[in-house]
């Protein structure tokens, strides 16, 4: 049977393409704002959220969304507190996330046994409920991104001028933090908490190697993200490995191929000029 004929794989591909688009798009803004570490920080908060859900009997994706949203607001608040050392806010929230998660995992014992599936991602455990949440939230995030695209671009390039040109920067920062938090929570189901931030950064790293405009960077990032997730899921199915690892390794292969092709192309052009 083909990989696409299994219902659980169809669910995985659908949810995978949605998270590839939202993770890569949000990742582009995060990387260019030099906030790559936000992904790591919030994914560890998501781990605490999952653990809370498992211990209390709430559906883990819901508790993870709430905790990650709270963590993203906390990061924003602490960034204002430590203006000169903004990365401290990430370290503090990450510490809180890991601390709380490890405490709950030890307390929960049998209840938290399934947490590995959230750490490294899982295909077979993607439920109808996960799919419904991912489709609804994914569409909301993509629509919001399209509407706010110009404002986010300009705020990312020059926050002060964006403010002067009438972009509501403070509110936009808050909306952006919320979108990042939801993106991370949705992505952890397939990619896994430990690798969420890789899916947000590696496709971006490949796209900014070759993009000749911001529009191109956005398109390439999405193509590389979707390619990584779909090929990674196929590899995960046939090799019987956790999808998080295969997705991220494929995104790294794409990055290296892009760098190699770019260098090769530059050498040929240089030779022709000389």
Point out which span in 1-9, 89-97, 212-220, 256-264 binds other proteins (CB under 8 A): 212-220
Q: Is 259 in the site for other proteins (CB under 8 A)?
A: no
| Residue from the set 76, 92, 214, 230 that interacts with other proteins by CB under 8 A | 214
Closest contact distance (angstroms) between CB of 213 and other proteins is 5
Closest contact distance (angstroms) between CB of 171 and other proteins is 14
Closest contact distance (angstroms) between CB of 82 and other proteins is 18
Q: Which residue number, 73 or 214, has a Cβ lying nearer to other proteins?
A: 214
The upper half-sphere exposure of residue 247, i.e. CA atoms within 13 Å in the direction of its Cβ, equals 36
Q: Interaction with other proteins in 128-167: which residues (CB under 8 A)?
A: 146-147, 149-151, 153-154, 157-158, 160-162, 164-167
Count residues binding other proteins (CB under 8 A): 27
Contact 179, 141 (CB under 8 A): yes
Contact mark string toward other proteins, 20..59, x via CB under 8 A: ------------x-x-------------------------
Q: Which residue number, 69 or 141, has a Cβ lying nearer to other proteins?
A: 141
Closest contact distance (angstroms) between CB of 10 and other proteins is 33
Residues near other proteins, by CB under 8 A: 32, 34, 146-147, 149-151, 153-154, 157-158, 160-162, 164-167, 207-208, 211-217
């Amino acid at each position: 049977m083909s990989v696409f004929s299994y219902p659980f794989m169809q669910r995985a591909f659908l949810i995978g393409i949605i998270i590839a688009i939202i993770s890569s798009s949000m990742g582009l803004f995060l990387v260019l704002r030099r906030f790559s570490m936000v992904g790591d920080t919030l994914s560890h908060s998501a781990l605490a959220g999952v653990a809370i859900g498992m211990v209390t009997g709430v559906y883990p994706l819901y508790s993870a969304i709430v905790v990650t949203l709270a963590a993203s607001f906390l990061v924003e608040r602490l960034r204002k507190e430590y203006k000169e050392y903004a990365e401290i806010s990430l370290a503090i929230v990450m510490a809180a996330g890991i601390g709380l998660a490890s405490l709950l995992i030890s307390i929960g014992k049998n209840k938290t046994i399934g947490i590995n599936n959230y750490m490294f991602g899982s295909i077979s455990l993607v439920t109808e409920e996960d799919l419904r949440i991912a489709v609804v939230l994914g569409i909301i995030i993509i629509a919001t991104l399209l509407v706010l695209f110009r404002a986010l671009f300009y705020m990312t390039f020059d926050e002060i001028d964006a403010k002067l040109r009438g972009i509501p920067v403070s509110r936009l920062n808050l909306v952006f933090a919320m979108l990042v938090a939801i993106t991370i929570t949705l992505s952890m189901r397939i990619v896994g908490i430990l690798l969420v931030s890789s899916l947000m950064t590696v496709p971006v790293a490949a796209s900014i190697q070759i993009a000749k405009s911001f529009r191109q960077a956005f398109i390439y990032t999405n193509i590389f993200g979707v390619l990584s997730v779909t090929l990674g899921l196929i590899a995960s199915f046939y090799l019987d490995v956790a999808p998080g690892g295969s997705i991220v390794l494929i995104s790294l292969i794409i990055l290296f191929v892009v760098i190699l092709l770019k260098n090769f192309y530059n050498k040929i052009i240089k030779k022709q000029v000389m």
